[in-house]
Amino acid sequence: MEDQVEALVHRLVGRFFRRWPRPAPPPHLLRACRIVSHRGEHDNRGRIENTLAAFDAAADAGVWGLEMDVRWTRDLVPVVFHDPDTRRLFMAAAEIGRTPMDALRKKFPLIPSLGDVVDRYGGRRHLMMELKAEPYPAPDIQARRLKRLLRHLEPGTDFHLMGLHPGMFAMFAFLPPRAFLPIARIRIDPLSRMAAACGWGGITGHFLPMTRRRLTRHHELGQGVGTGFVDSRRCLYREAWRGVDWIFSNRAVKMQGVCVPRSEV
């Protein structure tokens, strides 16, 4: 119920800001926008979220970053998938955490492993990897496997680990604090204070409660701020004027086109 209410609020707020006139920022501000494609460029019909095809579409359009969700299979292979099971996207009942990787790949070949994604885009696009809250049956093994997958990438520069439950970050202590980004929901203050105290890379959350004062505070600490979901030109203008560091969007290709017109790519 909380997720549904939050989604409704986000849609209403998005419609409001879509209609609120905003002056266009100067070209240098728009070019500086770092757009992040939320689950890749998808419509969940011709192109499914969190798949290589969705990420290819965003990357090929010049989108700066790719956001994805990370879960673990029964044999502890990290895969890129949002839900705990496959019902919503594939109309077939299979729990990710109860299915071995080989069986998952055989039945749902569109679901990539995190290794597939890192091999394809690592160092070429910024990877924003959201760790989903779920049981970690062997945290030491899982941490070692993630460390091995990311060994060629620079934390905070090539990727960030994100989470709605930042207590999970402690399982990946091999990474420096700058690699972590908490995701705030409606109440940003507690996580904002925690990010400042822990020296994390910054904070992300919905654009409405991310006030200019809070932006300034994190910037003064040398931390970044990400906001979502910015899916309209006018909302993009607002975030560009405010100097937001990472702009998450479900229409990232369109937003990228606003920042850098196709004719200039």
Tokens of 3: 């997720």
183-238 per-position pLDDT tens digit: 998 789 999 999 999 999 999 999 989 999 999 999 999 999 999 999 999 999 99
Which of 39-43, 53-57, 203-207, 261-265 is the least confident region? Answer: 261-265
- Tell me: the pLDDT tens digits for 74-120? 999 999 999 999 999 999 989 999 999 999 999 999 999 999 999 99
Q: HSE on the CB side for 261, CA within 13 Å?
A: 3
Residue 46 has pLDDT above 70, yes or no: yes
- What is the Cα–Cα distance from 85 to 132, expressed in whole angstroms? 12
- pTM confidence score: 0.94
Statement: residue 10 has pLDDT above 70: no
Please tell me the predicted confidence (pLDDT) of residue 5. 60
Backbone angles phi, psi at 259, to 5 degrees: -70, -45
pLDDT band with cut points at 50, 70 and 90 for residue 263: low
- Output the pLDDT for position 206: 93
At 191, is the secondary structure helix, strand, or coil?
A: helix
Helices (H), 78-138: 87-90, 101-107, 114-121
d(CA 211, CA 213): 5
Contact 248, 202 (CB under 8 A): no
Report whether 141 contacts 78 (CB < 8 A). Answer: no
Q: Domain 2-71+128-264 adopts which CATH fold?
A: TIM Barrel (3.20.20)
- C-beta of residue 8 within 8 angstroms of C-beta of residue 1: no
Domain ranges of the chain: 2-71+128-264
For residue 265, pLDDT over 60 is answered with no
So what's the pLDDT on residue 8?
Answer: 66
Q: Tell me the pLDDT band of 31, cut-offs 50, 70 and 90.
A: very high
